[in-house]
Structure 1
Amino acid sequence: MKKHLYLLMTMIMVVSMSELQVAGMMPSIATDLDTSVSRVGLLVSMYSLGMALGGPAVAYMLRHIRPKLALLSVVGLYAVLEALVPLIHEYWWVAIFRILTGCLSGATFGLSVTFGAQLAESPTKIGEAISIVLGGIMVGTVFGLPLSHYVAGALSWQTSFYLLALIALCLFVASLFALPSRDPASQEASEQDLRNLRSLRLWSRYLVSLLTIGAAYGSFTYFTPLLERNSGLSPNTTTVVLLTYGLFSFIGNLVVGKFADSHAVTVLRIGHAVLIISLSIIAMFATTGWLTVTMVLLVGLAGVSMNPALVTRVAEVGGTGNLVSTVHTSVITMGVTLGTAVSALTMSIAGNDPAIAMWTGAAFACLAAIVLATQTVPFKRSAASSI
C-alpha cells in the first residue's frame, strides 16, 4: 500500500506547488496581463480562499461517490483548469480560474487524507499513513515557488501552468490504474461525518491546528528577508538554507508520523516547545548567522511537520470522513493566512523588521500550547477524554 500513499502524496505536492506558483513569477504575469504586481499577488489569496471555502463544498458534493472516482474527478478537472489559465489574457478570468482551482485543491487535500486513512495497514497505522500523504505539502511548499520562478525566467510563466497540468494529467492516468477501489461512505457514515462537524471537541482541536500552522507560517514566510537582511546571508546561501529547511520538514513529518497514532499530544507539546524556543532565539540573535540557520532548521523539524499529529487528534473525535478532513484542510489554510497576515501587521507596526515575525510565530505557538493544555488537563481520564 506504500506506493499508493506516495501517489497520493504526489497529488498533494502538485496542488501545493500550484498554490505558490504565482508568487514566484508575479512580475511576468503582471506584464502579460497589463496589471500591477499587487493585483497579481491577490491571485495567491484567491487560490487560498478557494481552498478554504470551496474545498469543503466540493467534498460535500462528492460524499456519496466512490473515493477513487471522487479523487480522479477532482484531479482531472484540476488538470484541465490549470492548462486553461495561460490561454486567457484577462485578469478577472484568470482570477476566477484560480479560485476554482483552489476549490479543487482543497478537495484534493481532504479526499487524499481520507483515502490515505482507508489505505492504512491497520487503524493503529492511520497516523503513519497520513504522514506519508501529507509529505507532499513539504515538498510542494519548498519547491513550488523557486521552480515556478526558474521556469518563468527560463521559458515563460505560462509554461509553469502547462507543466503542472501535465503532471496532474499523468497522476490522473497513474491513479486510474494503480489506486485500489473502495466503497463510498454509507448514508449513515456520511450523515455521521456531517454531524461530527457540530462537535465542540472537534472544533477545539481544529483551533490547535489553526494556531500551530499559524505559528509555522507566520515565521517561515519571512525567513528569506530575515536571513538576507538580518543575518547577512547571500541569496544563493539563503536558497540552500530554505531547501534544507524543506528537507528537514519532510524528515520531521515522517518521524512525527511514526509516533502520531500513540503519542500525538506528546509530539505536539514537544513541537510547540521547540517552536517557541527556536523562534525566540532567532528573534533575539538574528544577526548571528550560524545560530539563526540552526534554529531555522529546527523550525523545519518541528513546525509544519506536526501535521500528522494534528490530523490524528482530529480523527480521534471526528473520524476521517471527507467533510471532517476537508474542513481541517480549510482550517490549516486559514492558519497560513492568519499567521502571515498577523506577522505582516506586527512587522508594519514595528518598522518592518522580520525578527518581529519570529516573535509573532512564537506567540502563536504559545497560544497553541495553552489551548492544547486546556484539552489535556490531567483530571480523571473520562473527563479529559471529553474535551
Structure 2
Amino acid sequence: MKSPNISQTVMTIKSWLALIILAISTFTIVTTELAPVGLLTPMAKGLLVSESEIGMTVSLYAWVGAFSALLASIFLGNVAKKRLLLILTIILFCSNMMTALVDSYTILLIARVIGALAHGSFWAMIGATAVAIVPTKYIGIATSIVFGGVSAASVFGVPLSNYIGITLGWRDAFWFMSGLSIISFTGILILIPQITSNSTIGFDALKKVLKSGTLWKIYAATLLTITAHFAAFTYIEPWLQTQSNLHIELIPFILFAFGLAGLFGNFITGVVIDKHLKLTVSLSIILICVVFIFIGLNQNSFTQIAIFSLVTIWGLAISGIFVGFQTWVLKLSGDDVFPASSLYVSFFNIAIGLGATLGAWIVSNYTLSTLYISASIIIGLSILLVNLIPASANNPNIRMDKTYETN
C-alpha cells in the first residue's frame, strides 16, 4: 500500500485513461436509462402494451435510481470502490440482458428495476472514485470528463439505440448496451486502482450531511435547475414542431446540435471550472433562464438561425450546471464525499421525475409558452441560492483521505 501525496499536481497516463473509462461507464448507464425513449413504438408493439407504459419504465428507473443512491450512502461507503464498481457493472449487464430477452411487460419492469438499483449506486460511486484518483487541482476537469458521458449519451447513445432498434430490432439495442457494460467492466478491471477510504457511512453520516446548510443549498439549487431543465427539455421537440420557419426534417439536426453543444460545453467547463466554479454555474443558469424567457414570450415563429442559436446556448449552458453542482458537492463535502455525492444523485434523479411530471401537467392544462415561462422562473430562483453557496471550503483539507493499491 502506498499513500499518494494529496498536493501532487501531476496526472499520469493511467489516471487519464481511468477517467475515460469512467466516462464510458456514465455513457452506458445513461444510455440504458434513456434508451426506451427512442424505442417507445417498437417496444410497445413487441410487448403488446401502450407507448405510455413503456415510457413509464423511464420514470420508474429514475425514481428507483434515486432510492438506490440513498441506500448506497448508508451501507456502501466503505466497500472497496473498484470491487463495487465491478459488481454494479455486472448487475447493469444482467439488467440489459434480461431486457433484451423479456417476453412480458412485468418482466421488463423487473429488469428495469434491477438496472436502476445499480444505476443510483453506480452514479454516486463514480463521482467519489473520480475524486479519489486525481490530484485536488484536477477535481473539476475530472468531473467534466467523467460526466461528459451524460452529454455523449444524449448525442450518440439514445440515437444509436434508436437506429439499432429500427434497423435490427429493439432487443438488439439492449444487447448493444450489454456489450457496453462488458467494455466498462474490462476497463474498470484494468485501469481503476484499488481504493480504500475512510469515507463516513451509515445513518449518522447521512444525518451529518443533511445538517450541512451549504450542501442543502446545493441540493435545493440542483432540484430547481434540473426540474426546470427536464420540464422544458421533455417538450423541446413539440416546441420545435410549432416553429413554422423550421422544416420538420431539420428537427433531428437541431436536437443533435443541442447534444454537440453539450459536449463542447463539457470541454469548456472542464477548462474553467476549477478556478471559476461559482461564476460558471451562475452564468450557465442565467443563460438558460434567458433562453426560456425568449421561447416563452415570443408568440411568433423564430428564424432558423434564432432557433439554432437558442438551442445551442441551452446545450452549452446545461453542461455548466450538470458538472458544476457535482463538482461543488465533491469539493465541499470533505470526508463525507460519498454520502454527499449519493444524496446529490438522489436529488438529481428526483428532479428528472419532477421535471417530466411538471412539464406534462403544464402542457396538458396550459400552453408550451406557459411551460417555458414557468421553467424560467424556477431556474431563475436557483441563482439566489447559488449566490449563498461558498465557492470553496474553509477547511483546506476538503477531500477525503485515501490510499491506493496499484494493480
Give the TM-score of the pair, scaled to structure 2: 0.86
Quick one: percent identity of the two aligned structures? 23
By percentage of residues, which structure has more helix? 1
Q: Which letter does structure 1 place at the counterpart of 2:56?
A: L
Q: Does 1:23 align with 2:20?
A: no
Alignment RMSD (CA, Å): 2.2
Distance 1:376 1:130 in 2: 19
Q: CA deviation at 1:232?
A: 4.3
Cα distance in 1, alignment partners of residues 246 and 377 from structure 2: 26
Counterpart contact for 1:249–1:300, Cα < 8 Å: yes
User: Which moved further from structure 2: 58-67 or 242-251?
Assistant: 58-67
Q: For 1:328-367, what aligned pairs fall within 5 Å after superposition? A: 328-350=344-366, 353-367=367-381
Query: Structure 1 stretches (4+) deviating beyond 6 angstroms?
Result: none
Question: Which ranges in structure 1 are unaligned for 5 or more consecutive residues?
Answer: 383-387
Instruction: Give the drift of 1:231.
Output: 4.5
**Which of 107, 124, 127 pairs up with 2:121?**
107
Q: Secondary structure at the match of 2:229?
A: helix
Q: How does 1:36-51 map to 2 (within 5 A)?
A: 36-51=50-65
Residue 315 to residue 177, structure 1, CA distance change in 2 (3 Å):
closer
Equivalent residue number for residue 385 of structure 1: none
Give the superposition deviation at 1:372.
2.1
Supply the distance in 1 between the matched residues of 2:167 and 2:119 (Cα, whole angstroms).
Answer: 27
Amino acid of the residue matched to residue 361 of structure 2?
L
Determine the structure 2 residue equivalent to 1:210.
223
Q: String of CA shifts for 1:101-135, please: whole Å, max 9, x gaps.
A: 01211111111111111122x21221111111010
Matched residue type, 2:343: V
Per-residue deviation at 1:349?
Answer: 2.0
**Distance (whole Å) between structure 2 residues aligned to residue 249 and residue 256 of structure 1:** 10
Higher RCO, Cα 8 Å, sep 6+: 2
Deviation of the 1:31 alpha carbon: 1.9
Q: Which residue of 2 aligns with 1:159?
A: 172
1:312–1:222 distance in 2 versus 1, CA, 3 Å: same
Return the alpha-carbon distance in structure 2 between the equivalents of residues 155 and 234 of structure 1. 28
- Mapping for residues 216-255 of structure 1, pairs under 5 Å: 216-255=229-268
Once the 2 structures are TM-superposed, how far is the Cα of residue 144 of structure 1 from its aligned partner?
3.3
Bigger drift between 10-19 and 122-131 goes to 122-131
1:300 is displaced (CA, Å) by: 0.6
Instruction: Decide whether the 8 Å contact of 1:249 with 1:303 is kept in 2.
Output: yes
2:87 paired with 1:85: no
In structure 2, the residue matched to 1:148 is 161
Task: Report the CA distance between 1:193 and its aligned residue.
Answer: 4.7
Deviations 1:221-262 (A, max 9, x none): 221111122254334311111111111111112222233233
Map of 1:1-387 to 2, 5 A cutoff? 1-120=15-134, 122-183=135-196, 185-186=197-198, 189-190=200-201, 193-194=205-206, 195-285=208-298, 287-288=301-302, 289-319=304-334, 321-350=337-366, 353-375=367-389
- Bigger drift between 152-161 and 221-230 goes to 221-230
Task: Say if 1:164 and 1:68 are closer, same or farther in 2 by CA, change over 3 A.
Answer: same
TM-score (norm 1): 0.90
Deviation at 1:375, TM superposition (A): 4.1
Equivalent residues of 1:216, 1:304 under 8 A apart: no
2:276 is paired with a residue of what secondary structure?
helix
**Between 196-205 and 10-19, the greater mean CA deviation after superposition:** 196-205
Cα deviation for residue 273 of structure 1 reads 1.2
Shift of 1:355: 3.3
Q: Is this contact kept in 2: 1:106–1:330, CA < 8 A?
A: yes
Contact 1:282 1:291 in 2 (8 A): no
Q: Secondary structure at the match of 1:226?
A: helix
1: CA distance between counterparts of 2:155 and 2:377? 24
Once the two structures are superposed, residues 20-78 of structure 1 have per-residue CA deviations (whole angstroms, 9 ceiling, x without a partner) of 11111112222222222221111111111111112331454332221111111101111
- Distance (Å, rounded) in 2 between the aligned partners of 1:193 and 1:251: 36
Asked whether the equivalents of residues 22 and 43 of structure 1 are also in contact (C-alpha less than 8 Å), the reply is: yes
Letter in 1 for 2:188: S
Structure 2 gaps of 5+ residues are: 1-14, 396-407
Q: Which residue of 1 aligns with 2:8?
A: none
In structure 2, do the counterparts of structure 1 residues 243 and 376 end up closer, same or farther at CA, with 3 Å as the change threshold? same
Number of paired residues?
A: 374
**Contact 2:265 2:317 (8 Å CA) reproduced:** yes
Q: Distance in 1 between matches of 2:246 and 2:157?
A: 22
